[in-house]
Structure 1
Amino acid sequence: MTNSTDPTRQDVSASPHAYETEHGAAADTPAGHDAPKWLWRSGSLVNWHSARVHVNAVGHASASAIFEGIRAYRAADRDSLLVFRLEDHLRRLYDSARICRLDLRHNLPELSEAVVALLRANEYRDDAYVRPWAFPSGFIKEQMVPADSPCEVIVDSWALDSTLLAPEGCRAAVSSWLRISESSMPPRVKAFSNYHNGRLALLEARENGHDWPVLLNERHKVTEGAGACLALVRNGQVITPSLTSGVLEGLTRATAITLIEEVLGLGVEQREVDRTELYLADEIFFLGTAWEILPVLSIDGLRVGDGTPGPVALQLRHEYQQVVRGRSHRYRHWLTEIPAPKAPSPLFPSNL
Structure 2
Amino acid sequence: MNVPAAVPTVAPAGPAMLGGPDREHLDPPAATAALDSLASPAAEHPEWIWRSGELVPWEQARIHVNAVGHASTAAIFEGIKAYRADDGERLLLFRLDEHLRRLFDSARICRLALPYDFAQLKAAVLDLLRVNRYIEDAYVRPWAFPSGLIREQMVPAGSACEVVVDSWPFRARLDTGGGCRAGVSSWQRVSDASMPPRVKAFSNYHNGRLAMMEARENGHDWPILLNERHKVSEGPGACIALVRNGTVITPSLTSGVLESITRDTAITLLGELGETVVEREVDRSELYLADELFFMGTAWEILPITVVDGLTVGAGTPGPVTRRLTAEYTRLVRGSSDRHQGWLTEVPR
Name the amino acid aligned to 1:255: T
Give the match for residue 212 of structure 1: 222
Give the match for residue 143 of structure 1: 153
Q: Is residue 267 from structure 1 mapped to residue 276 from structure 2 by the alignment?
A: yes
Q: CA deviation at 1:329?
A: 2.5
Whole-angstrom CA distance in 2 between matches of 1:154 and 1:168? 35
Q: Is residue 255 from structure 1 mapped to residue 265 from structure 2 by the alignment?
A: yes
Q: CA deviation at 1:118?
A: 0.3
Q: What 5-or-longer segments of structure 2 have no aligned partner?
A: 1-9, 13-38
2:137 to 127, 149, 159: 127
Q: In 1, are the aligned partners of 2:179 and 2:304 still within 8 Å (CA)?
A: yes
Q: CA deviation at 1:267?
A: 1.0
Whole-angstrom CA distance in 2 between matches of 1:42 and 1:54? 15
Sort the Cα spacing of 1:128 and 1:30 in 2 relative to 1 into closer, same or farther, 3 A. Answer: closer
Whole-angstrom CA distance in 2 between matches of 1:78 and 1:173? 39
Give the match for residue 53 of structure 1: 63
Q: In 1, are the aligned partners of 2:78 and 2:103 still within 8 Å (CA)?
A: yes
2:295 to 283, 286, 299: 286
Name the amino acid aligned to 2:340: Y
1:108 to 118, 123, 128: 118
Q: Is residue 193 from structure 1 mapped to residue 198 from structure 2 by the alignment?
A: no
Alignment of 1:149-228 (within 5 A): 149-228=159-238
Q: In 1, are the aligned partners of 2:82 and 2:92 still within 8 Å (CA)?
A: yes
Whole-angstrom CA distance in 2 between matches of 1:135 and 1:300? 38
Aligned partner of residue 49 in structure 2, secondary structure: strand
Alignment of 1:71-86 (within 5 A): 71-86=81-96
Q: CA deviation at 1:338?
A: 1.7
Name the amino acid aligned to 2:327: H
Whole-angstrom CA distance in 2 between matches of 1:224 and 1:202? 12
Give the match for residue 248 of structure 2: 238
Give the match for residue 327 of structure 2: 318
Q: Is residue 90 from structure 1 mapped to residue 90 from structure 2 by the alignment?
A: no
Aligned partner of residue 173 in structure 1, secondary structure: strand
Give the match for residue 47 of structure 2: 37
Q: TM-score, normalised by structure 2?
A: 0.88
Whole-angstrom CA distance in 1 between matches of 2:106 and 2:288? 34
Q: What 5-or-longer segments of structure 1 have no aligned partner?
A: 4-28, 342-352
Give the match for residue 7 of structure 2: none
Structure 1 runs (4+) greater than 2 angstroms displaced:
29-33
Q: In 1, are the aligned partners of 2:48 and 2:132 still within 8 Å (CA)?
A: yes
Q: CA deviation at 1:78?
A: 4.7
Q: In 1, are the aligned partners of 2:242 and 2:294 still within 8 Å (CA)?
A: yes
Q: Is residue 65 from structure 1 mapped to residue 41 from structure 2 by the alignment?
A: no
Whole-angstrom CA distance in 2 between matches of 1:236 and 1:155? 42
Q: CA deviation at 1:140?
A: 1.0
1:304 to 291, 310, 313: 313
Q: CA deviation at 1:166?
A: 1.0
Name the amino acid aligned to 1:320: Y
Total equivalences in the alignment:
314
Identity across aligned pairs (percent)? 68
Q: CA deviation at 1:307?
A: 0.5
Higher Cα radius of gyration: 1
Q: CA deviation at 1:32?
A: 5.9
Aligned partner of residue 218 in structure 1, secondary structure: coil
Sort the Cα spacing of 1:111 and 1:92 in 2 relative to 1 into closer, same or farther, 3 A. Answer: same
Sort the Cα spacing of 1:187 and 1:311 in 2 relative to 1 into closer, same or farther, 3 A. Answer: same
Name the amino acid aligned to 2:127: A
2:339 to 326, 330, 340: 330
Q: 1:321-348 deviations in whole A, cap 9, x for unaligned?
A: 1110111122100000124x5xxxxxxx
Q: CA deviation at 1:30?
A: 6.0
Q: TM-score, normalised by structure 1?
A: 0.87
Whole-angstrom CA distance in 1 between matches of 2:224 and 2:40? 28
Sort the Cα spacing of 1:2 and 1:333 in 2 relative to 1 into closer, same or farther, 3 A. Answer: closer
Aligned partner of residue 327 in structure 1, secondary structure: coil
Q: In 1, are the aligned partners of 2:40 and 2:168 still within 8 Å (CA)?
A: no
Name the amino acid aligned to 2:314: G
RMSD after superposition: 1.4
Whole-angstrom CA distance in 2 between matches of 1:175 and 1:54? 37
Q: 1:262-316 deviations in whole A, cap 9, x for unaligned?
A: 1x10111000000000000000000000100000010000000010011111110
Q: 1:189-248 deviations in whole A, cap 9, x for unaligned?
A: 000000000000000000011000000001000000011000000000000000001000
Whole-angstrom CA distance in 1 between matches of 2:139 and 2:192? 28
Whole-angstrom CA distance in 1 between matches of 2:308 and 2:179? 12
Whole-angstrom CA distance in 2 between matches of 1:161 and 1:85? 19
Aligned partner of residue 135 in structure 1, secondary structure: strand
Whole-angstrom CA distance in 1 between matches of 2:105 and 2:327? 31
